[in-house]
Amino acid sequence: MKIIVLVKQVPDTETNIKVGDKSINEAGIKWIISPYDEFAIEEGLRLREKNGGEVIAVSLGPDRVQESLRQAYAMGADRAVQIKVDNYVPFDTVLTAELIANFAKAENADIIIGGRQSIDSDSSQVVIQVAEGLGIAHISFAVSLEISGTSVKATKEVEGGTQVVETSLPVAITAQKGLNEPRYPNLKGLMAAKKKPIETKTPADLGNPASKIEVVGLEPPPPRIPGRKLEAADAKGYAEQLVKALREEAKVI
């Protein structure tokens, strides 16, 4: 079973974001694997442990993404591939998906797993676009997954609840929280990961797809409506003030 796990490197949530003209200022940013992709890596490892085969961790971006690939190695990935794109717009999902689909096609992958969304763009697009590019099934927001032979059974989150779905390999999956608990890489794994090779592919190796998105500009978030703490003698007083504020000032209720 050949399993490709998608590993996107994103700024840590706690990192301060400084907005530049068309991208963010990367100085001082702490980079992490997007949390949902950690569920994807874990699921890939579990599937391999059960069914055999190999787990290939793929990350797209400049050389700094190798750090995330080494972490995937430390968790237990068998191979790591960097799709080397230096001036990478992290919101260009169509370009990203086309590169990954072309890579997955060449590898003849059975399963492609990524997070339900990356926390820098919240687009929820790439994995399903890869599925469409390959002409294979997809299951989004998976909270459980069972694969035996070529049959796939999963529970996915849908609006208002869950659904049980079935399909057969090959399949692309997006991991939702609840799918598993990602393991921590141990020290030995981290040491060994340092020496492992990272394969690189260039866009030229993968069909040189065109970008379809243009960044017009980045800006800081819009200012919030200025806030204030209410003053009152008791709960009833607070309640009266709040109702008044929400109905007469904010006009939202």
Partner 1 sequence: MSNVLIVGELKNGELKKISKEITSAGRKIADALGGKVTALLIGSGVEKFAGDLGAVGADSIVTVNAGDFNAETWANLVAGVIQDKKPSVVLVPHTSQGKDYSPRVAVKVGAGIVADAVGLSVDGGKVVAKKPIYSGKAYGNFKITSDVAIFTVRPNSQEVVQKAGAGATEAASPSAGDAKVKIVSSDLSGGNKVQLAEASIIVSGGRGIKGPENWPVLQGLADVLGAALGASRAAVDAGWISHSHQVGQTGKTVSPNCYIACGISGAIQHLAGMGSSKYIVAINKDGDAPIFKVATYGVVGDLFEVVPALTDEFKKVLG
Residues from 217 through 236 that contact partner 1 (CB under 8 A): 217-222, 224-230, 232, 234-236
| Tokens 């990192």 -> residue | 15
Q: State how beta strands 24-25 and 18-19 pair.
A: antiparallel
Closest CA to 151 of 175, 172, 169, 163: 169
149 makes contact with partner 1 (CB under 8 A): no
Taking CB under 8 A as the binding criterion, the range among 58-66, 105-113, 188-196, 240-248 that sits at the site for partner 1 is 240-248
77-80: which pairs have CB atoms within 8 A and are 24 or more residues apart? 77/5, 77/41, 77/44, 77/45, 78/48, 78/54, 79/54, 79/55, 79/199, 80/56, 80/196, 80/197, 80/198, 80/199
Total binding residues toward partner 1, as defined by CB under 8 A: 83
Residue 81: strand, helix, or coil? strand
247 makes contact with partner 1 (CB under 8 A): yes
To partner 1, the closest distance from the beta carbon of 199 in angstroms equals 26
Which contiguous run of DSSP H or E holds residue 192?
helix 187-195
Binding mask 37-76 for partner 1 (x = CB under 8 A): ----------------------------------------
Among 54, 78, 88, 119, binds partner 1 (CB under 8 A): 119
Answer yes or no: are the C-beta atoms of 48 and 55 closer than 8 Å: yes
Nearer to partner 1, 22 or 50 (CB): 22
Pairwise CA distance, residues 174 & 36, whole Å: 9
Among 136, 142, 147, 179, binds partner 1 (CB under 8 A): 136
Interface with partner 1 in residues 8-37 (CB under 8 A): 11, 13-14, 16-17, 19, 24, 35-36
Closest CA to 26 of 203, 218, 239: 218
191 makes contact with partner 1 (CB under 8 A): no
To partner 1, the closest distance from the beta carbon of 10 in angstroms equals 8
Taking CB under 8 A as the binding criterion, the range among 52-60, 61-69, 164-172, 189-197 that sits at the site for partner 1 is 164-172
96 makes contact with partner 1 (CB under 8 A): no
Among 46, 79, 84, 138, binds partner 1 (CB under 8 A): 138
Nearer to partner 1, 171 or 193 (CB): 171
To partner 1, the closest distance from the beta carbon of 170 in angstroms equals 10
Query: Radius of gyration over alpha carbons of the chain, in Å?
Result: 22
146 makes contact with partner 1 (CB under 8 A): no
Asked if residue 220 has a cis previous peptide bond (ω within 30° of 0), the answer is: no
Among 59, 66, 82, 140, binds partner 1 (CB under 8 A): 140
Pairwise CA distance, residues 139 & 157, whole Å: 10
